[in-house]
A and B are shown apart, each in its own frame.
Chain A
């Protein structure tokens, strides 16, 4: 039965080839899809495109060689993660001179952001855009994340991640709409006035734990019911001094009212 075995052999080879191609394709799509472009794989043409975009949109403030000026900090060594954070959340380019760049609808396509990131990370090594492996929080400890969040993040971003005021019109933004990637990038790069938390003092597992905790806050079922914005004693005080005392006054008026 040589002929039939040869036929079977041929069919098997084709199937193996198909499976191999499919796996590679889907795997590649999964990796590149979630992590967008990471710096090490940036091609020369991407860097070139990024440089063009940089000179058009960024050089006015950050300088022709990204060396910085009085209007904007140097971008040498800030890494792809900083570019991805600032541009993909719409904080950069800045609409006007303010104390803080606000989050706004972004004006660059994902390809343009990747090109800009490739260009800036080609200037000097810096924090890279996290991979999907970096952002995998399956193994992370939610309780540890909570403790780390309260020690390192809650002072500015509020115990419930709702953000808070800083000095001179600056503020720590709410984390309620932040993606895993953006949270990671903020921790590694320290955008604007936020300090940075590099892997050396806050290893990847701890970042994953913090992300897991923030995601838990975002999906937050506050078991206490009405959270009143989670702003603490201010909103809670306003509520109880108006609604609570109001109800007591109404009861007192009813008790004292004359009956017909």
Chain B
């Protein structure tokens, strides 16, 4: 490189500065040795306290039981072990940081430095030489004349990334029909979520809400090794007076006023069970999409673009509620290939 860099560091204090600096003020610690010693003691105290806190951390870790709680007034009740570990370790890190900055600000050399920039571009003769070397290379390689070599090289380079694209196939099977289907099929018994209890129609009064899923889902989960099936199959059952049902997605998809709807919002897939039994509105807590379950699950408010899919239900020979068929439209949020 050029020799212009050598005097840069001293330019600020040189005889003829290019950009004059404001007058330099000396700090108290520069002029008063007692102030400097005080600052030194302060920094040392912080570092020593940090070391003590690390010891305190180890002591607290060993001695404080994890099931003790302590009340801290407005902050509330906190676990005493967590509190002590956090305070000691956090304090140790903080004191090292504060001590270092205090040290730098009060005691380290305090002088203004002007660092002047030199031109970024190369000198013209260097540029000319580089260009000449490149053109010599082009001429000597015969890249311009030997068209066959040039074209085959370009072809090879163009094909080179293809294996990388082919390997993307290993990222997993395509979703196939899995986005359109759930595990619900004709005759699947509907059971109460958590308790897995099968449901008879007379178990539901007008206004009852039940979070439900298909029977035997836990075995299915083990088989598939995934939570997806369970998540997509979640439904809610509600009962209203038959005359309150204005429309539904298929004829007689209810059973004496009992309706089954997917629990997964058609906007971005939040599970919804905020059913307001007097208005029959189902509200999604994420973005306030509201579905009218008395009117085919149509959207009455919010960003959801599609109605809530309804599951046709009936009863089996033993009088338990079952699916009369699977879902007739994809549940959950929209996806690219879904269509209208």
Q: Which residues of A contact B (CB under 8 A)?
A: 73, 147-148, 151-152, 155-156, 164, 166-168, 170, 190, 192-198, 200-202, 206, 221-227, 254-255, 259-260
Contacts and interface: CB of A to CB of B under 8 A. Distances in A.
Given A201-B199, A259-B27, A155 B193 contact: no
A149 to B, nearest CB: 10
B205 interface: yes
Contacts of A202: 192
Interface majority SS (helix, strand, loop, mixed), chain B:
mixed
B283 interface: yes
A193 B106 CA distance: 67
A254 B102 CA distance: 10
A247 B309 CA distance: 49
Interface residues of B, number: 48
A259 B194 CA distance: 65
List 4 tightest A-B contacts by C-beta distance, closest first.
A195-B209, A200-B203, A193-B276, A225-B78
A64 to B, nearest CB: 22
Contact of A201 (B75, B192, B279): B192
Given A259-B27, A260-B27, A197 B79 contact: no
Contacts of B266: none
Contacts of B283: 166-167
Interface of B: 25, 27-29, 69, 72, 74-79, 101, 105-106, 110, 192-195, 197, 199-200, 202-205, 207-211, 238, 271-279, 281, 283, 285, 288, 290, 301
Given A151-B211, A259-B27, A200 B277 contact: no
Contact of B76 (A198, A222, A255): A222
Interface majority SS (helix, strand, loop, mixed), chain A:
loop
Given A155-B272, A167-B301, A193 B279 contact: yes
A200 B77 contact: no
A190 B277 contact: yes
